[in-house]
């Protein structure tokens, strides 16, 4: 029965898109680049339990400019009071964007190349009186796609 589920999942992946499996923007834990990394904020970040945290600029959650990796905080001295921006500028982790209608198959192949395992998901919004713009819809990770294929919750180790 488990094999059948996986087979069905693998077949269904063909007509699903990134937008179907992503974590929606309102549920994404992200932080402003101006955040000071002191004992309190680092504790909060660790408590959330995510590996990667999108970082936005100018107080605009639609304006994600970098990724903070929780492992970047390991060697940080909280008394230095660095901002997230400083830490992100130092590490420069690649930040990737995909459109929400990207087929899961395409996204999976992209993740399999191994350069990155989280992408920001954008939607193109048309306007009457100005050029189209991007609206951030969420994040997608390799985990979201694997979970879709297995059609079962994967319990994190």
Neighbours of 37 (CB within 10 A): 22
CB 11, min distance to ligand ADP, A: 22
User: Is residue 51 a contact point for ligand ADP (CB under 6 A)?
Assistant: yes
Residue from 13, 18, 25, 28 that binds ligand ADP (CB under 6 A)? Answer: 28
Element (H, E) at 123: strand 118-125
DSSP assignment letter at 59: T
| Strand partners for 36 | 83
User: Is residue 52 a contact point for ligand ADP (CB under 6 A)?
Assistant: yes
Q: Please state at what angle helix 142-150 crosses helix 2-12, rounded to 10 degrees.
A: 130
x/- track of binding to ligand ADP for residues 116-155 (CB under 6 A): -----------------------x-x-xx-----------
Token pair of 73 as six digits: 């905080």
For residues 50 and 56, which CB has a smaller minimum distance to ligand ADP in the complex?
50
* Site for ligand ADP, rule CB under 6 A: 23, 27-29, 50-53, 139, 141, 143-144
């Amino acid at each position: 029965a488990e094999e059948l589920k996986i087979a069905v999942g693998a077949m269904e992946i063909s007509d699903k898109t990134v937008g179907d499996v992503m974590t929606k923007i309102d549920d994404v834990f992200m932080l402003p680049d101006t955040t000071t990394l002191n004992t309190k904020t680092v504790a909060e970040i660790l408590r959330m339990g995510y590996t990667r945290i999108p970082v936005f600029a100018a107080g605009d959650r639609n304006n994600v400019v970098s990724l903070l990796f929780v492992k970047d905080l390991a060697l940080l001295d909280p008394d230095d009071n660095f901002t997230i921006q400083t830490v992100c500028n130092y590490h420069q982790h690649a930040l990737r964007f995909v459109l929400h209608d990207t087929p899961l198959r395409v996204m999976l192949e992209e993740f399999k190349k191994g350069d990155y395992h989280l992408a920001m998901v954008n939607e193109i919004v048309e306007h009457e009186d100005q050029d189209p713009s991007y609206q951030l819809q969420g994040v997608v990770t390799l985990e979201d796609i694997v979970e879709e294929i297995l059609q079962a919750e994967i319990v994190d180790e």
